[in-house]
Amino acid sequence: MTLVIGIGNPDRGDDAAGLAVARRVRVAAARRDVTVTELVGDQLALLDAWDGVKDVYVIDAVCSGGAPGTVYTFDAAQPLEARFRHRGTHTFSLADVIELGRALGRLPARLAGYGIEGAAFELGAGLSPEVEAAVDAVACRLLAELKAGV
Amino acid sequence: MTHDSDGIRVPALARVEGEGGIEIVVSDGQVTQARLDIYEPPRFFEALLRGRRYTEPPDITARICGICPIAYQMSSCQAIEDACGATVTEPVKALRRLIYCGEWIESHALHVYMLHAPDFLGYESGIHLARDHPEIVARGLRLKKAGNRLMEVVGGRSVHPVNVKVGGFYRAPAAADLRALLPALEQARQDAADTVAWAGTFTFPDFERDYEFVSLRAPDEYPITQGRLVSSRGLDIAPAEYDSHFTEFQVKHSTALHSVLDGRTYLTGPMARYSLNSDRLPADIAAAARAAGLGGTCANPFRSIVVRAVELMYACDEAVRLIRGYQPPDPPSADVTPRAATGYGWSEAPRGMLYHRYTITADGTITDAKIVPPTSQNQRAIEEDLKDFAAPRLSMPHEQLTWECEQAVRSYDPCISCSTHFLDLRVRQT
């Protein structure tokens, strides 16, 4: 089984990028052994979300000063680069949770994913146009990978 | 950390909820000011609520903070019910207390294990602690999960719970679903007891303060959802009297309002709750607190980690008691009919007293809203403490001073998410 997890805050503009990717993948994923979930808020819950699953994709928003809509990839076989350690209201970044999972022996056998550079994170805002486009692009890439069984 | 002509600047303060920071101004070898800097307008939600239906505050205000949504839901429900003259049944009150226990458990477990304990054990973060002591961090995460699970079963989900409404709940959880939580909660209670003993072994700086403590106080229970508001210097008021005693005002360096009680600085939160209500704890929990070095009161902010551990134990104990005595509320909520009035509500969020006030019209439209989160209330106490804490430590190397000041701030478990976001930490010498 492959698990796709979109994380973010639906009320904070581009922070919802990961959630938007998850929704597109859920609609389009043809394989029955693909489960899609959305995680809002406390990212420590990732440790429970992927517990017992060997193949996991995570999609998150990134705020690292890059051009809005830029897509980054990661593979948790290595510590994540600094851009995935952005600070947010979740206290623990994706990079933090992955390192905590590594320390506790609670990482999936394969954990990879995408980051999407956001433009704005204001309360109550929607996705910016650049991030909307990136969400579509990441969803397409992810669906292709799932179809190919990468 | 970088040095420049203005003194020392360091990046954002680590391990507080949200992002926050402190500026310490030093002049001629004296600390002239310690400031908690807050930049984001905290009143966004109050403005957002104006013009909305009286039934909406529990859903809207739950989004203020991902760590303590239940606190916002409970204070807002009680304020709206007060405005409408509605009363809720005892089973609804018990279920509210139960879901609130879940929030205390998950919030306190997060702070004790992942945010605060690393300071006492010499680790940079909970992640570094986990590398050397995975069994300790696993215990904290197990506790946190027990709290989150309780919030999910009662609230529908643990982040922004959807089952809470004005008057009660949309649906009463099945007794069997709650009973299924008992093994994990009984394990959590043992884990919490172990946490109290463990935290009691830490070494704490000698930093006793002369606080005016403010917390709820109820006749027969340790306060969570209800009670009068009391202080260690004689305050004893009902919710409608809050605005007569507490004044909020702006300061130049922060967009989160400061608050004073009849002109005085005060402290709300676990230390205040414990110091004003330790006589309400069951005997075995009070004994565990004493064995961990606590007296009947606690005025050393560094020691607040032990107080949180004691409250963890109490919340687990209460959750087990409430589930064993659970009677599904039927109906799950009271009818709440709008009327033109102002209503007042409060409860004890994990970080302290959370006050809500709403004015509604006869057709149920909100015309005014006021929300006073605990971190905003504690800003002045944090600043005064930090000033006195830093003063005798100015001869320390800057890096060590900064590190110790960061530890001091973390003792209060500031939830910048509630009051604001995005702050920096700096020690500035002029």
User: B130 and A103: CB-CB below 8 Å?
Assistant: yes
Query: Cβ atoms within 10 A of the Cβ of A69, count?
Result: 21
A96 contacts on B by Cβ (under 8 Å): 125, 127
The answer to whether B154 touches B99, Cβ cutoff 8 Å, is yes
Residues of B (91-110) whose Cβ lies below 8 Å from A:
110
Q: What is the pLDDT of residue B255?
A: 67
Question: Which of B17, B138, B145 is facing A48, going by the closest CB pair?
Answer: B145
- pLDDT at residue A87 is higher than 60: no
**How many Å apart are CA A6 and CA A3, to the nearest integer?**
10
Asked if B416 and B12 count as a contact pair (C-beta separation under 8 A), the reply is no
Residue in B63, B134, B159 nearest the CB of A104: B134
State the pLDDT confidence band at A86, using cuts at 50, 70 and 90.
Answer: low
Rounded Cα–Cα distance for residues B197 and B290 (Å)? 10
Residue B146 sits in a domain whose CATH number is 1.10.645.10
Q: What value does the mean pLDDT take over residues B59-79?
A: 90
Q: Which of A42, A47, A99 lies closest to B66 in CB terms?
A: A42
The alpha carbon of residue A103 is apart from the nearest alpha carbon of chain B, in Å, by 5
Of the candidates B44, B138, B159, the beta carbon closest to that of A42 is on B159
More confident residue, B278 or A1: B278
- What does the alpha-carbon distance between residue B267 and residue B147 come to, in Å, rounded to a whole number? 26
Among partner residues B66, B115, B158, which is closest to A90 by beta-carbon distance?
A: B66
Residues B207, B391 contacting (CB under 8 angstroms): no
- Which of B16, B45, B63 has the most A C-beta neighbours within 10 Å, making it the best mutation to test the interface with A? B63
Least confident of B44-48, B194-198, B334-338: B44-48
Suggest the residue from B159, B351, B413, B419 to mutate for an interface test with chain A (most A CBs closer than 10 A): B159
Q: Cβ B114–A104 below 8 Å, yes or no? A: no
Give me B288's structure tokens: 């565990």
CA distance B11 to A139: 34
Greater pLDDT, A67 or B33: A67
Residue ranges making up the domain that contains B200: 44-377
Chain A nearest C-alpha distance from B249 (Å): 24
CATH number at residue A88: 3.40.50.1450
Nearest to B63 among A11, A96, A103 (CB): A11
Contact of A123 with chain B, judged by CB distance below 8 Å, is answered with: yes
Query: What pLDDT sits at residue A74?
Result: 94
Q: What is the pLDDT of residue A150?
A: 55
pLDDT digits (tens, 9 = 90+) for B368-410: 999 999 988 998 999 999 999 999 998 888 888 888 888 888 8
By the 10 Å C-beta count (0-12 exposed, 13-18 middle, 19+ buried), A140 is classed as middle
Task: Please check the confidence at residue A113 and state whether its pLDDT lies above 80.
Answer: yes
Q: Which residue range forms the structural domain that includes residue A50? A: 2-148
pLDDT value, residue B425: 39
**Lowest mean pLDDT: which of B304-308, B410-414, B425-429?**
B425-429
Distance from the A40 Cα atom to the nearest Cα atom in chain B, whole angstroms: 7
* pLDDT at site A127: 95
B48 pLDDT above the threshold of 80: yes
Q: Does the pLDDT at position B283 exceed 60?
A: yes
The reply to whether A47 touches chain B by the CB within 8 Å rule is yes
Query: Residue for token digits 């600390």?
Result: B31
Name the nearest CA neighbour of A46 among A12, A115, A96. Answer: A96
* Residue-level pLDDT at B427: 52
Residue A49 near chain B (CB below 8 Å):
no
- Arithmetic mean of pLDDT, B141-167: 92
Q: Which two tokens stand for residue B221?
A: 């229970």
Count of domains forming chain B: 1
Contact list, A89 vs chain B (CB under 8 Å): 17-19, 66, 417, 421
Average pLDDT of chain B to the nearest whole number: 89
What's the structural domain count of chain A?
Answer: 1
Strands (E) located in B43-183: 164-165, 168-169
Q: Cα B197 to the chain's mean position, in Å?
A: 22
The pLDDT of residue B43: 60
CA separation for the pair B366, B343 (Å, rounded): 11
A103 contact residues in B (CB cutoff 8 A): 127, 130-131, 134, 137
Q: How many CB atoms lie within 10 A of CB B4?
A: 8
pLDDT for the residue numbered B10: 33
Q: Which residues pair with B230 in a beta bridge?
A: B215, B236
How far is it, in rounded angstroms, from Cα B100 to Cα B73?
Answer: 10
pLDDT level of residue B165 (50, 70, 90 thresholds): very high
Confidence of residue B423 (pLDDT cuts 50, 70, 90): very low
3 state DSSP class of B365: strand
Q: Per the CB < 8 Å rule, is B17 touching A44? A: no
Q: In chain B, what residues touch A41 (CB-CB under 8 Å)?
A: 66, 158-160
A89 and B417: CB-CB below 8 Å?
yes
Q: Would you call B41 an interface residue with chain A, using a CB distance cutoff of 8 Å?
A: no
Q: Helix B304-324 to helix B134-155 angle, to the nearest 10 degrees?
A: 40
pLDDT beyond 50 at B42: no
Identify the pLDDT of residue B34. Answer: 87
Contact B127 A103 (CB under 8 A): yes
Confirm whether B392 is domain-assigned.
Answer: no
Chain centre distance of CA B148: 16
Chain A to chain B Cβ contacts (< 8 Å): 61
List % helix, strand, coil for chain A (3-state, nearest 5): 40, 25, 40
Residue B9 reports pLDDT greater than 50? no
Please list every residue in chain A whose beta carbon sits closer than 8 Å to the beta carbon of residue B19: 87-89
B115 in contact with chain A, both atoms CB, cutoff 8 A: yes
Task: Say what percent of chain B tops pLDDT 70.
Answer: 89
Is residue A92 pLDDT above 90, yes or no?
no
Q: Residue type at A147? A: K
Chain B CB within 8 Å of residue A99 CB: yes
Rounded alpha-carbon distances, angstroms, from residue B82 to B86, B239, B377: 6, 10, 23
For residue B18, tell me if it sits in a domain: no
- Whether the predicted pLDDT of B316 surpasses 90: yes
What percentage of chain A has pLDDT greater than the value 70? 93
ipTM score assigned to the predicted complex:
0.89
Tell me the pLDDT band of B211, cut-offs 50, 70 and 90: very high
Pick from B99-108, B114-123, B155-164 the range whose average pLDDT is largest.
B99-108
- Note the Cα B181 to chain centre separation in Å: 24
The most confident of the ranges A9-23, B24-38, B148-162, B184-198 is: B184-198
- What confidence category does residue A90 fall into, taking pLDDT thresholds of 50, 70 and 90? very low
The arithmetic mean of pLDDT across residues B93-115, rounded, is: 96
> Tens digits of per-residue pLDDT, B330-376?
999 999 999 999 999 999 999 999 999 999 999 999 999 999 999 88
φ, ψ of residue A5 to 5 degrees: the values are -120, 120
Please tell me which residue, B419 or A15, carries the higher pLDDT value: A15
Contact B44 A96 (CB under 8 A): no
- The mean per-residue pLDDT over the stretch B231-255 comes to 91
